[in-house]
């Protein structure tokens, strides 16, 4: 079974959904693997999510989790 690609305007939502389902902080590599998005795309999307407070990055591990506004 193949899945349809996620539209570009929904990629941030896909990352947020993945983080929420997982229940703990994830690395960008883990997010890329779980969503099928290229790593460079994941980093670009995470920058926007961090800017809006929807995702936060752990200072020491570099993993991402839901932010204060999520």
Q: Does 28 reside within a domain?
A: yes
CA distance 18 to 13: 8
Q: What is the pLDDT of residues 24-64, one digit of tens each?
A: 899 999 999 999 999 999 999 999 999 999 999 998 999 99
Instruction: Write down the pLDDT at residue 9.
Output: 85
* DSSP designation for 7: P
Domain membership flag for residue 43: yes
Model pLDDT, residue 23: 87
E strand or H helix that includes residue 17? helix 11-22
Residue at 34 is within a domain: yes
Contact predicate 46/28, CB 8 Å:
yes
Do residues 25 and 70 touch, judged by C-beta distance below 8 A? no
Number of folded domains that form the chain: 1
Rounded to two decimals, the pTM is: 0.87
What confidence score (pLDDT) does residue 21 get?
94
The whole-number pLDDT of residue 3 equals: 62
């Amino acid at each position: 079974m193949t899945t349809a690609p996620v539209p570009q305007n929904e990629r941030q939502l896909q990352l947020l959904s993945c983080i929420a389902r997982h229940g703990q902080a994830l690395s960008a590599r883990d997010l890329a693997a779980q969503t099928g998005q290229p790593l460079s795309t994941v980093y670009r999307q995470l920058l926007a999510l961090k800017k809006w407070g929807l995702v936060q990055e752990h200072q020491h591990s570099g993993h991402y989790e839901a932010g204060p506004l999520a």
